[in-house]
Amino acid sequence: MAERAEVVFVDGVRTPFGRAGEKGMFWQTRSDDLIVKAIVGLLERNPRVPKDRIDEVAIAATTQTGDQGLTLGRTAALLAGLPQSVPGYAIDRMCAGAMTAVTTTAGAIAFGAYDLAIAGGVEHMGHHPMGFGADPNPRFQAEKLVSAEALNMGNTAERIHDRFPRLTKERADRYAYNSQRKNAEAYANGKIQPDLIPVATRSSNGWGLATVDEAPRPETTIEGLATLRTPFRAHGRVTAGNSSGLNDGATAGLLASAEAAGELGLTTKMQLVSFAFAGVAPEIMGIGPVPSTEKALRKAGLSITDIGLFELNEAFAVQVLSLLDHFGIDDDDPRVNPWGGAIAVGHPLASSGIRLMIQLAAQFAEHPEVRYGLTAMCVGLGQGGSIIWENPHFIGKTSKGSK
């Protein structure tokens, strides 16, 4: 049997992320138009890619109905102007949708079935609130398979606080404050903007152009966070300030075999090392990235000390803190989300996995002393997903184990 092909992350882009709802900048924008814009922007940035050589378009959405339905990968491919010969499909693993689109197409590349693939995700939470229209099987609760609280992500975050008393609200608020601060600094230094694809918007005031994320609150203070109400539980610890918001946005990434990338003269921003998904009790879904990261490290023959950069999805501050505590990493470790995270920029569910990859790839280019990086996230209904990447810019590639 032939050895597996090496999989590389060529490039990734995203739309700015908007706030969900009637006052959000994408309220009058279709969900499928957001993902089409991301795909078109990705291909415009990579003109060497022959469109007829793309083997697959895998697009994730958590709520696959309305303008997020109809086999989104195929419809988006056609709307983006790809040849009719390019196939596509839709995928759903809730928050890890885009991450799963990446790992699924990467598996096909490694197997030798694909040379090039586009993976992406989109979520318009204004048009499609999480869980809207879903009809959970009554057996979940009748047979106590899943607690009713497991269907509410905020309640699952409160339960992590319950289970780990050392993960206090004060720590969560401080982590959230730092996310906002780091994101503001990254914007001020021009770190975020290069990978954003502008999107035309329409509102009662006429046409506009979305060029930056709508959600960040750089004015956030520790004192202000302490006063926010706890909507999921009286006297709780989870607030709108230490959680990601409800958002609209799309991401798209280009994956290739190393051989195809070399043949076509494409960039290599990252190399895929290993990935893993894992399940946990749905009631505490936020701890999911702990076992998935342990599994991915084991598959790669690495330890957590080999990871030099972390991009962790900040669904809730306490969720990130649970992973950091487990692995003995400080709350303010500079390797973790150096440009801020979802608490600041937002979390349009199925799209977020590739946002993590976009930021890690850019950080790899700035840190040739770092060899390995991790993208990881929790997933609704009790799952976690983790991908380990290698930095192609790493200096001293023969010294295995170097961060």
Active-site residue, from 124, 128, 161, 378: 378
Neighbouring C-beta atoms of residue 401, cutoff 10 Å:
11
The per-residue pLDDT for range 346-361, each reduced to its tens digit, is 999 999 999 999 999 9
- Express the helix, strand and coil content of the chain in percent, nearest 5 each: 35, 20, 40
Position 399 confidence tier, pLDDT thresholds 50, 70, 90: very low
Is the per-residue pLDDT at 62 higher than 60? yes
Q: Kindly list the structural domains of the chain, giving each domain's residue range(s) and its CATH number in brackets, ordered by start.
A: 7-125+245-390 (3.40.47.10)
The residue-averaged pLDDT of 70-79 equals 97
- Of 165, 124, 147, 105, whose CA–CA distance to 27 is shortest? 124
The per-residue pLDDT for range 199-215, each reduced to its tens digit, is 999 988 899 999 999 99
Question: Does 127 participate in catalysis according to the annotation?
Answer: no
Name the token pair of 397: 């590639």
The residue-averaged pLDDT of 128-144 equals 82
The per-residue pLDDT for range 216-229, each reduced to its tens digit, is 999 999 999 999 99
> What is the chain's mean pLDDT, rounded?
95
Is the per-residue pLDDT at 182 higher than 70? yes
Active-site residue, from 95, 127, 128, 367: 95
Question: Does 347 participate in catalysis according to the annotation?
Answer: yes
Tell me what pLDDT residue 164 has: 95
Give me the amino acid identity at 129.
P
Task: Kindly state the percentage of the chain with pLDDT values over 90.
Answer: 90
Is the per-residue pLDDT at 123 higher than 90? yes
Tell me what pLDDT residue 2 has: 61
The residue-averaged pLDDT of 316-345 equals 98
- Of 98, 91, 169, whose CA–CA distance to 377 is shortest? 98
The per-residue pLDDT for range 235-259, each reduced to its tens digit, is 999 999 999 999 999 999 999 999 9
What are the DSSP calls for 119-149, one per residue? EEEEEETTTS-TTTT----THHHHTTSS-GG
Question: Does 128 participate in catalysis according to the annotation?
Answer: no
The residue-averaged pLDDT of 130-140 equals 83
Rounded to the nearest 10 degrees, how much is the dihedral formed by the CA atoms of 93, 98, 103, 104? Answer: 70
Distances (CA, A) of 224 to 217, 240, 331, 347: 11, 11, 20, 22
Tell me what pLDDT residue 152 has: 81
- Of 313, 351, 342, 358, whose CA–CA distance to 32 is shortest? 351
Active-site residue, from 127, 161, 347, 367: 347
Least confident of 52-66, 122-136, 167-181, 182-196: 122-136
For 180, the 3-state DSSP assignment is helix
The residue-averaged pLDDT of 177-205 equals 96
What b/e string do you get for 233-242 counting C-beta neighbours within 10 Å, with b at 16 or more?
Answer: beebbbbbbb
pTM: 0.96
Task: Kindly state the percentage of the chain with pLDDT values over 70.
Answer: 98
Tell me what pLDDT residue 204 has: 84
